[in-house]
Amino acid sequence: MIRGKTLPPFSPRAEAVTPFLAMEVLERAKELEAAGRDIVYLCVGEPDFPTPAVACEAAVRAIREGDTKYTHSLGLPELREAIAKHYLRRYGVPVDPGRIIVSSGTSPLLLLLFSALLTEGDEIVLPDPCYACYPNFIRFPGGVPRFLRTREEDGFQPRPEDVRRMITPRTRGIFVNSPSNPAGSVLPPDWFEELASLPVPLISDEVYHGLTYEGEERCALEFDPDAFVVGGFSKTFAMTGWRLGYLIVPASRMRVLQSMHQNFLISAAHFVQRAGIAVLEGGWRDVENMRASYDARRRHLVGRLRRLGLGVRRMPQGAFYVLADARHVNPDSLALAMEILEATGVALTPGIDFGEGAEGYLRFSYANSIGNIDKALDRLEEYFAAAK
């Protein structure tokens, strides 16, 4: 046995990756649950609905038929064609299937994209607050996230005139998310159009499309045919564990990204891609049923939060999140979220996970039943009453 071996340190780049606080809360909640506590999970954005039956049946059939091998590195041609048909039908946008990369979720595709776009010191403009993992996707390949502090009255979406002032010679992209995480807001079409006209690439995360309740969700490709568009199956079709997403890329940038995908990710699971085809062709009724349930939960949760004294100044329009102002309770959102978890068994995500612009806020996910939402809010009502 070799003794006394000294392991080399990890790279500064790896050491700089910050914890994902939503998962930190979830993991502590699981520890409490294993110890016998009753936990209500309102911390993660995971649908509580089952995956549509058509997807499950297609995957089982595919496995039985031997669809367990590698596929084309860009994804099954039939799946890419189904995605292209969806964009033409839903947004009136023609998309060449050859511009679509299918992969094991959207997260590896974002890391792939930013690794291709950025050299050391290059910048991406993105709103603050934003999805917690975005900055790490940008920093890991050496990029610099340029945070634009947004306004609650705008749903924390970036105003084009503010974005324009952020652009420098090192700017390599503008990153938007609509419907958004954590605020559930939708980017106004005229803002989208103006952002698309700016002289840098537009990168649009559209994973919550199909889950909009007010306003109109628009695709970046309607305004800029050369936008980079991220889409997926996890949220809309309740397929988080299936790990299936895609990236639509300008034709001139496909070869480099395909080579990177071949090397680093190879291909998404064959039978999972078969499920993707099935759900695009036959799963939209399930989506509509889920969307209607989310809408009812949204209205119910916001009403209860406001009666509880938490600030929700603008109704979320999409996704399944409410970002509620709790600064009057405790401006340290991580300390507050952990205290609430330990005291009440309610798991919430601290606003600081999404940036300084959301510090003092708590994010509530309504990807849970109204019964569980009421159980959580009843506990919070008692907690806040006792804290006075």
Confidence at 182, pLDDT banded by 50, 70, 90: very high
DSSP string for 134-150: HHHHHHTTT-EEEEEE-
Residues 267 and 170 occupy one common structural domain: yes
The pLDDT value recorded for residue 387 is 77
The pLDDT value recorded for residue 7 is 87
Q: Number of folded domains in the chain?
A: 2
Residues in a beta bridge with 204: 176, 229
- From 256, 283, 310, the end of a domain falls on 283
CATH number at residue 324: 3.90.1150.10
Confidence at 28, pLDDT banded by 50, 70, 90: very high
Average pLDDT, the chain: 96
Neighbours of 102 (CB within 10 A): 25
CATH number at residue 156: 3.40.640.10
For 371, counting Cβ atoms within 10 Å of its Cβ (0-12 exposed, 13-18 middle, 19+ buried), the class is exposed
What are the strands of the beta sheet with 245-248, ordered from one edge?
100-103, 245-248, 228-232, 202-205, 171-177, 123-128, 144-149
What sign for the dihedral angle of Cα 55, 60, 65, 68? positive
Residues 46 and 124 occupy one common structural domain: no
**Collapsed DSSP state (helix, strand, coil) of residue 356:** helix
**Collapsed DSSP state (helix, strand, coil) of residue 117:** helix
Residues 92 and 169 occupy one common structural domain: yes
Residues in a beta bridge with 324: 362
Over residues 288-325, the pLDDT tens digits come to 999 999 999 999 999 999 999 999 999 999 999 999 99
Residues 62 and 78 occupy one common structural domain: yes
Alpha-carbon distance 33 to 35, whole Å? 5
Residues 264 and 137 occupy one common structural domain: yes
The pLDDT value recorded for residue 231 is 98
- From 218, 251, 283, the end of a domain falls on 283
What Rg, from alpha-carbon coordinates, does the chain have?
A: 21
Over residues 87-140, the pLDDT tens digits come to 999 999 999 999 999 999 999 999 999 999 999 999 999 999 999 999 999 999
Residues 372 and 291 occupy one common structural domain: yes
Alpha-carbon distance 188 to 185, whole Å? 9
Whether 1 is covered by a domain: the verdict is no
Whether 7 is covered by a domain: the verdict is no
Residues 133 and 206 occupy one common structural domain: yes
Whether 3 is covered by a domain: the verdict is no
Over residues 204-253, the pLDDT tens digits come to 999 999 999 998 899 999 999 999 999 999 999 999 999 999 999 999 99
Say whether pLDDT at 1 is over 70.
no
Alpha-carbon distance 30 to 347, whole Å? 10
Over residues 53-76, the pLDDT tens digits come to 999 999 999 999 999 999 999 999
The pLDDT value recorded for residue 168 is 97
Residues 148 and 296 occupy one common structural domain: no
Give residue 110's domain range: 53-283
Q: At what angle do helices 270-282 and 53-64 cross, to 10 degrees?
A: 140
Residues 232 and 177 occupy one common structural domain: yes
Does residue 97 contact residue 148 with C-beta atoms inside 8 Å?
no
Alpha-carbon distance 131 to 137, whole Å? 11
Whether 4 is covered by a domain: the verdict is no
Task: Tell the residue number behind the tokens 């300008």, with chain if given.
Answer: 250
Alpha-carbon distance 328 to 129, whole Å? 19
- From 283, 308, 343, the end of a domain falls on 283
Task: Tell the residue number behind the tokens 């340290």, with chain if given.
Answer: 332
Does residue 323 contact residue 184 with C-beta atoms inside 8 Å?
yes
Alpha-carbon distance 95 to 87, whole Å? 7
Residues 25 and 170 occupy one common structural domain: no
Whether 343 is covered by a domain: the verdict is yes
Report the pLDDT averaged over residues 247-260: 97
Task: Tell me the C-alpha to C-alpha distance, in Å, between residue 90 and each of 39, 83, 86.
Answer: 39, 10, 6
Say whether pLDDT at 2 is over 90.
no
Residues 325 and 313 occupy one common structural domain: yes
CA-closest candidate to residue 252, choices 201, 297, 205: 201
Neighbours of 8 (CB within 10 A): 5
Q: Any idea what DSSP says for residue 226?
A: T
What sign for the dihedral angle of Cα 109, 111, 112, 114? positive
Spell out where the chain has E strands: 40-41, 100-103, 123-128, 144-149, 171-177, 202-205, 228-232, 245-248, 321-325, 346-347, 349-350, 361-365
